Chain A
């Protein structure tokens, strides 16, 4: 089912006309209502009238996370405090948190884009959505919640954590769609057996997983262990929250809701706009946000965009999954490595549970890459040979993916830090001075 066929299957010209109209409105709107944007425009001698085509967007200065932090808490709001009905915030683990504000219309829009995601996941009216994203300031929990209500599904606001309860609800309520981070979904999947629950006892058909990067290997595991269709959802607090883009059942990239968010791909070094299929940093401009419109936000997420029509019938452009972040790239022994590469390599090896940790350290002048990997419970037979082989396979898989020789450390199940929110999987102990 396609939730909003009119917009999601709109022809190219009509879509571009809509985007241009909304871009012009947004530019005028921020210029008049957000002093920070007005001064950004004035600095480069730009006025809203200079935006006449979609390509003119390239004239607009970027917005960065630092801009959002310095505007903390409300300086980027384009509406009066009286019109704001909900506030969210990022955790602020890497600095000052980023605040997101919503008007009534923004919440409606948020619900709309999540409803599109639920439809992509095969949702039907009255389906029960087990929402195991954290409820709180984090946008994940409430975003999905608003969407479930808009869709006409039944929201089960269990929030994250308490795995025993998750499985109990899954079995007793016969929930249909699970929403949470992929690493937590895996944890739930692996805990089923422990609580004596089989796939016959539960009724899940799909999962909408996001808020952290994941790979095809992890998807295969989730689909097999939970008996579901596992789909990726993308979003960020700075740009409304989850639902900016979601996968359909074709799993051929994430459909960006490009009637609400205008995507560009740029070269993060030269800041030049890149073409279709070229890998670069995703830059997003909100086209419909009221409380906090954002122009050309540097997401730091690396991806590429495809514009052809998807087999599902939707014409919204697709981003081909996040391949890394401009700031989580590790440079080890001079080699550029993304954690996603290591994760991808790892999932090709038998016996890996999915939970892992990457530790980079430096002895004197030499970088050392250590990878701690949990052994899957079913894989362990007590044979040393089998574990040795697993270790060798991991070493080889990582070497062929990254070119690096990693020290593999096998660990027991559940011995590595497990995240119920964003997984913290890279520890860089090197001191750069």
Chain B
């Protein structure tokens, strides 16, 4: 469903810079479908962020394999396929002093929708704003069905 009041639970996984560690983490996710994925890295460690079909199974497998994993609330915002549309949406938030912690994008081949996953500095305020400004966001069910 496309609504203006839902958020999605994303997983953040800590991966230290050791050979094969990233593959180990991804191996733990082999039992679930990965809907969206981003890897952020620093000099010494990386964080995998992903949206998967079943958080519970993913977390259990990861933790059993001694990974540090955390479930976070993020917004999956639909962006119109027009110039500057991402900027226009982000401006709504920055005007209200809500910062963007991180973001990553993916698209739906079936519907041609562009989706940006965003973690805001204050998710509660961000949710209010999404509702108020009628920004289109996706539900987890919709992502599971269409991606």
**Contact bitstring A171-184, B, C-beta under 8 A = 1, else 0:** 00000000000000
Query: Which residues of B are found within 8 Å of A412, using beta-carbon distances?
Result: 14, 16, 66-68
**With A387-B45, A388-B42 as given contacts, are A375 and B14 in contact (CB-CB < 8 Å)?**
yes
For B45, the closest partner residue in chain A by CB is A410
Contacts A375-B14, A412-B16 given; does A382 touch B45 at CB 8 Å: no
CB-CB nearest in chain B for A412:
B68
Cross-chain contact A380 with B70 (CB below 8 angstroms): yes
Is the CB–CB distance between A382 and B12 below 8 Å?
yes
Are A413 and B66 within 8 A (Cβ)? yes
B40's nearest neighbour on chain A, judged by CB, is A384
Alpha-carbon gap, A381 to B70, bound state (A): 6
A 359-380 contacts with B by CB, 8 A: 375, 377, 380
User: With an 8 A cutoff between CB atoms, is B135 at the interface?
Assistant: no
The answer to whether the Cβ of B72 comes within 8 Å of any Cβ in the partner chain is: yes
* With contact pairs A410-B16, A411-B16, A414-B66 given, residues A382 and B44 touching in the complex (Cβ less than 8 Å): no
Cβ < 8 Å to B, chain A residues 382-433? 382-385, 387-388, 391, 408-415
A113 to B61, CA, bound (A): 48
Closest Cβ neighbor of B74 among chain A residues: A382
Residues of A80-104 whose CB lies within 8 A of B = none
Among residues of A, the one whose C-beta sits closest to the C-beta of B72 is A382
Q: How far is A395 from B10 in the complex, measured between Cα atoms in Å? A: 31
Q: Does B101 interact with chain A (Cβ within 8 Å)? A: yes
Chain A: interface residue total (CB-CB under 8 A): 19
Most buried by B among A382, A391, A410, A411: A382
Q: Is B49 an interface residue when CB atoms closer than 8 A count as contact?
A: yes
B residues in contact with A381, CB < 8 Å:
12, 70, 72
Residue of A nearest to B49 (CB): A382
Interface pair A380/B14, CB less than 8 Å apart: yes
Structural contact, B68 and A380, CB atoms closer than 8 A: yes
A198 and B72 alpha carbons, distance in the complex (Å): 25
| B41, closest chain A residue (CB) | A384
Which of B16, B49, B66, B68 gathers most chain A CB within 10 Å?
B68
Chain A residues in 8 Å Cβ range of B49: 382
Complex interface: chain A residues within 8 A of B47 (CB): 382, 384
Minimal beta-carbon separation of B139 from chain A (angstroms): 21
Q: Could you say which residues of chain A place their CB within 8 Å of the CB of B12?
A: 380-383
In the complex, residue of chain B having the shortest beta-carbon distance to the beta carbon of A413 = B68
User: Which of chain B's residues has its CB closest to A388's CB?
Assistant: B42
Closest to B70 in A: A382
Cβ distance A398 to chain B, nearest Cβ, rounded Å: 15
The 4 closest A-B pairs by CB, nearest first: A382-B12, A382-B70, A412-B68, A380-B68
The 28 listed contacts between A and B (C-beta, < 8 Å) are A375-B14, A380-B12, A380-B68, A380-B70, A381-B12, A381-B70, A381-B72, A382-B12, A382-B47, A383-B12, A384-B40, A385-B101, A387-B42, A387-B45, A391-B44, A408-B44, A409-B16, A410-B16, A410-B44, A410-B45, A411-B16, A412-B16, A412-B66, A412-B67, A412-B68, A413-B66, A413-B68, A414-B66
